[in-house]
Amino acid sequence: MDLGLRGKVALVAAASKGLGRAVAEELAAEGAKLAICSRNAEAIEAVAHEIATKTGAEVLARAADVSRAGDIGAFVDATLSIYGRVDILLTNSGGPPAGRFESMDPGEWQKATELVLYGPIELARRVLPGMEQRRWGRILNVSSIAVKQPIENLMLSNSLRAAVVGWARTLANEVGGFGVTVNNLMPGYTRTERVEELSRVIAEREGISPEKAVTRWEREIPLGRLAEPREFAALAAFLASERASYITGQTIAVDGGWIKSLL
């Protein structure tokens, strides 16, 4: 299937590993030009080199912390300076710390809000004018299954990722007339460093091994296994494509059937 992504410019946040990297690799394989960032300059430059070597894609790499508006501005400005536009935006970040409500002080709520909510808003604010002017754009937000079925001990993530979905659904209504779609992707338990971290937190709290925590998740998933990042990336590439031009305002799970609700 030709997704119509050749020559499109995709800005992918937090792309040095995990889901962000997988999406960047998938878009590059489809012929898109990339602008990718992470907080670690050495890591993101290494990933850029690997993707460019493997796919032949043009890849711009920059160090940027997506919880800081100044970093976001510099990253988007660099992308526009090199490519002249952004057609596809994937907002993404690491997850906030695990913990229950009573363990979170106001400072932790503020940091998590800047990372999970303000980051996507600032990225979209920077790229939307160009998308609207060209009357074509794709905004994809990496969310979590927690917005449909809250996960124990993830108070910050459960709360703030739900806020992102509310913002994105409203934004989809506002920009649809300009040919811009806005969708959210909900990864389930996927083989990433974030899930490894959560398994260690559970293991420490319950006195079990991380492997036993993973096995417990796998028993809850109808497909019986964790996802691979590339399986998530395949949906992201489709939603970024010409073929998904009539899909907007949606929040779609890639969870192996873990979410039990009907809607």
Q: What's the pLDDT tens digit per position in 93-130?
A: 988 998 999 999 999 999 999 999 999 999 999 999 99
Distances (CA, A) of 3 to 55, 72, 117, 119, 159: 16, 28, 29, 28, 34
| pLDDT band (50, 70, 90) for residue 89 | very high
What is the pLDDT, as a whole number, of residue 201? 85
**At 139, which amino acid appears?**
I
Matching residue, tokens 């695990």:
98
| pLDDT band (50, 70, 90) for residue 131 | very high
pLDDT, average across residues 137-156: 95
Distance between CA atoms of 137 and 133, rounded to whole angstroms? 10
**Strand ranges (DSSP E) for 144-210?**
180-187
**At 26, which amino acid appears?**
E
Would you list the DSSP string of 35-51?
Answer: EEEES-HHHHHHHHHHH
Cα 29 to chain centroid, rounded: 18
pLDDT, average across residues 153-178: 97
Distance between CA atoms of 21 and 146, rounded to whole angstroms? 21
What is the pLDDT, as a whole number, of residue 193? 86
Distance between CA atoms of 130 and 178, rounded to whole angstroms? 10
Extents of the domains making up the chain: 9-188+228-254, 189-226
pLDDT value at 197 more than 90: no
Distance between CA atoms of 173 and 133, rounded to whole angstroms? 17
pLDDT value at 1 more than 80: no
Distance between CA atoms of 222 and 259, rounded to whole angstroms? 10
pLDDT value at 59 more than 80: yes
pLDDT value at 194 more than 90: no
Q: Mean pLDDT of all residues in the chain?
A: 96
pLDDT value at 263 more than 90: no
pLDDT, average across residues 29-34: 98
Give the whole-number percent of the chain exceeding pLDDT 70. Answer: 100
Nearest in space to 152 (alpha carbons), one of 114, 111, 205, 222: 205
Please state which of the four CATH numbers 3.40.50.300, 3.30.1490.20, 3.40.50.720, 3.30.70.2860 is assigned to the domain occupying 9-188+228-254: 3.40.50.720
What is the pLDDT, as a whole number, of residue 198? 85
Nearest in space to 221 (alpha carbons), one of 194, 185, 193, 195: 195
DSSP H or E segment with residue 60 = strand 59-63
Nearest in space to 24 (alpha carbons), one of 95, 90, 122, 116: 90
Q: Of 120-134, 145-159, 196-210, give the range with the top mean pLDDT.
A: 120-134
Judge whether 120 and 20 are in contact, CB under 8 Å.
Answer: no
pLDDT value at 88 more than 80: yes
pLDDT value at 47 more than 80: yes
